[in-house]
Chains A and B, each alone.
Chain A
């Protein structure tokens, strides 16, 4: 099931919330949430839901074994290694085996049979989540969870199961046993969920249409201007798509009584590429930092080697294809460059540093978008005018003029305008009861309109996939 679908919004979510709030006790609420979450997952993955349950169960056992082997450091460590290897092995099979076989076949001249395995949705996310749990138990950062059921709740919670954020056990473990959801919390959650929904159903999807029109088809006729407009549209699409999913996850988490950490922090106003990776998919980069980079030595020993490993893995996590590895390497090079050479100069150049960042971020998305390397390099060539294709066509001008209102809104939505607006509104409501009620009324009407427009956009589109859905 997808958040931006009618089945989810008008059947699954209202029914789940109704039942959840009808049962008052936390253990019952946990049961409701687990059952609903497994149903949610099974709706899209009727067979591999069992893979999810089995993986969590095995890791649950490992967690207990690790806890009980504290006296024997060697045994403890061995258990940890196996408990990390097991889900990674599953991830490797389900996500990467086909790719490995394909690559080997190039060297073996097609000897091996083709392997095509459907990727279970969310496996990249829940694999990392369960690994973070066993490692935190090992490091004694988190107490072992003695109830399999509660561990399953943590992993399978539907707001964050399919596309993140990669929630750490330590962040929600207190809420597992005790949750109090006030009306204010619920309303706050709603006010996070609904704008996220609109961001996805309207902004991301419409930007996606522009991207597909330009770079989603035959590149033979694509002009330089068309390539730029197309990749910029994609830049908007992927940000709104993914961050909207996190918004909805955080909003729904709040409605159910859980606090998830922020996953995006206005990445397109970054002042450097280093800054960008502190703002984009924060839960992933912090996972790699805490569970790969620092254990390998961080910036203390083998700094460059560690960065290389982390960035190749980051790229590869996003997709079983060479273009994703290239994307990771691309950022590795930029980050090393910044760390070792230009970082301190970039810092001191306001505006230029933001333009510099945007430029490289946009180019980065070219590596991310094209899984076919031929198209990838052709588009790169196009962007820099190295091609026989025209510079600009009438179609490009018309498309730009048509989509201009959307593009303007997209640009605004990339900036922390919302914060500024919220501050202004808050100051107005502090002035008095009447002002507060007016602002409140406006908020209610605004959110209602968002719901209406999002529903209309979903009904109006027959095809509404999430981009980060290959995880």
Chain B
């Protein structure tokens, strides 16, 4: 009997000991967990307070938020705290590392491509406004100090719209297009209205499709509601007969195997613009300058708007390059801020070969400026006004071959009456060139509408 009682006592003693050890280890593990998490947060928190603030994020191509100044009034308006949160987030330690980890997490959970290798993603908000380059090819941002006449004002307008989706193939990104007949009809009416105010001016409409129409990996994206071809035909059908309508799509399709669109940017390349130019010449019965007659150059390593929006490594591993073709005519250009051209102009290079900025598409006529006037050595007395958003920028250098004077207006950054401007300057041709997304972009359409007037 003693034996079995002993055994029982021994058993319960060893059980108790095991329990004590278990609890002690539990405390140890709790301690370690607390230590690890606390150390991480305190360390990172400490670094975040003492480290120096960065100014620019190269990866995101934007200025990082600055430390806000405290004032009681800004605190009570809530401005201080939201600015502080933004500032803290923008200057967080190891920010780039965390962004990369997040990208990895995202690809793991949300972006496995299907067998066609197509991935769809929402467009991230991108701040593409206010980019410009000066005559030395250096970037000037909107928030700079007062501008001297030797430097240039901001020039790239925000175009890629806030909502919508991008598809990523195995080497390029393309924005999905949705046909909006109401917008297209409205656009056509704008063209009709301006034509009716200009009986003696040749009015040419040029609608340009984007890469997804011409190079789509899946026929879904250029048929039915996605078809830019149908959209162009619809828009042209609503325009009056006395308007010249350029069919750029056929020419672009013929040359689709060439590098006519960027992979990481929503624009066409200079080569694509050249084919557009040949279609323009055909419609307006002019002679297109042969490409072989033009001196060319190249800017390597271009990652454009669609890269900024998707941050896709597929694009980063396979960057674009920007080929440019120098006009064979001599050109001198000026940039005006007002439509009556009474202000002192900035100098303009048709091809800004000294560009240093990452956004190499700005090499074409230095991006989106309010009003540009280019005089060429082709003294044939003919002049043209180009109304455009940035798609037209790559086309304008080719027009310098056919005209003595080329005017370029971006309606988003200048006010004034178009018809008055055209008659005051005795302009022969009016070209409105837009890529399909612009036709439903309220910023552009409203600005253009205002310049057309009644």
Mark A residues whose CB is within 8 Å of B. Answer: 1, 5-7, 9-11, 13-15, 17-18, 43-47, 183-184, 186-188, 190-191, 194, 202, 206, 209-210, 212-213, 217-218, 221, 393-395, 397-399, 401-406, 409, 429-430, 433, 436-437, 440-441, 443-444, 447-448, 451-453, 455-463
Contacts and interface: CB of A to CB of B under 8 A. Distances in A.
A192 B348 CA distance: 62
B76 interface: yes
Which of the listed residues A15, A406, A441 has the most CB atoms from chain B within 10 Å of its own CB?
A406
Contacts of A443: 29, 33
A438 to B, nearest CB: 10
B30 A183 contact: yes
A453 B105 CA distance: 8
B424 to A, nearest CB: 42
Given A7-B88, A11-B45, A460-B99, A187 B114 contact: no
Contacts of B77: 46
A395 B37 contact: no
Contacts of A43: 81
The majority secondary structure among interface residues of chain B is helix
A136 to B, nearest CB: 34
Contact of B122 (A186, A191, A213): A213
Nearest to A220: B178
Contacts of A441: 29
A45 B78 CA distance: 7
A184 B26 contact: yes
B143 interface: no
B193 to A, nearest CB: 27
Interface string B234-278: 000000000000000000000000000000000000000000000
Contacts of A212: 122
Contacts of B76: 46-47
Contacts of A452: 101
Task: Rank and list the top 3 A-B pairs by shortest CB-CB distance, nearest first.
Answer: A460-B102, A187-B30, A440-B29
13 contacts: A1-B81, A17-B38, A43-B81, A46-B75, A210-B110, A221-B225, A398-B167, A440-B28, A441-B29, A456-B99, A459-B92, A460-B98, A460-B105
Given A187-B30, A433-B21, A459 B98 contact: yes
Contacts of A455: 98
A402 B122 contact: no
A433 B25 contact: yes
B34 A183 contact: yes
Interface in B95-148: 95, 98-99, 101-103, 105-106, 108-114, 118-120, 122, 124-125
B44 interface: yes
A444 B36 contact: yes
Contacts of A47: 76
A301 to B, nearest CB: 48
Given A206-B106, A398-B114, A401-B112, A444 B85 contact: no
B27 interface: yes
A206 B109 contact: yes
Contacts of A184: 26-27, 30
B158 interface: no
Contact of A191 (B33, B113, B163): B33
Given A184-B26, A209-B110, 20 more contacts: A17-B38, A46-B77, A184-B27, A187-B34, A210-B110, A393-B220, A395-B165, A397-B114, A401-B114, A402-B110, A402-B112, A405-B109, A406-B110, A440-B26, A440-B32, A447-B36, A452-B101, A453-B105, A460-B99, A462-B89
A406 B111 CA distance: 10
Contacts of A463: 125
B338 interface: no
Interface residues of B, number: 62
Contact of B81 (A44, A183, A437): A44
A90 to B, nearest CB: 20
Nearest to B95: A459
A48 B294 CA distance: 67
B99 A451 contact: no
Contacts of B48: 6, 10-11
B120 A402 contact: yes
Interface of B: 21-22, 25-34, 36-38, 40-42, 44-45, 48-49, 75-78, 81, 84-85, 88-89, 92, 95, 98-99, 101-103, 105-106, 108-114, 118-120, 122, 124-125, 163, 165, 167, 176, 178, 218, 220-221, 225
Nearest to B42: A14
B220 A206 contact: no
B37 A447 contact: yes
A206 B110 contact: yes
A443 B33 CA distance: 8
A186 B34 contact: yes
Given A46-B81, A443-B33, A444-B36, A402 B119 contact: yes
A11 B33 CA distance: 19
Given A394-B220, A440-B25, A448-B37, A7 B85 contact: yes
A437 B88 contact: no
A403 B37 contact: no
B218 A394 contact: yes
A213 B110 contact: no
A462 B90 CA distance: 9
B102 A459 contact: yes
Contacts of B103: 460
A441 B30 CA distance: 10
Nearest to B100: A456
A202 B45 contact: no
Contacts of B34: 183, 186-187, 190
Nearest to B26: A184
Contacts of A11: 45, 48-49, 88
Given A394-B220, A402-B114, A187 B29 contact: yes
Contacts of B120: 213, 395, 398-399, 402
A7 B92 CA distance: 10
A463 B103 CA distance: 15
B31 A183 contact: yes
A206 B49 CA distance: 30
A395 B25 contact: no
Contacts of A44: 78, 81
Contacts of B105: 202, 453, 456-457, 460
A221 B112 contact: no
Nearest to B119: A402
B22 A436 contact: yes
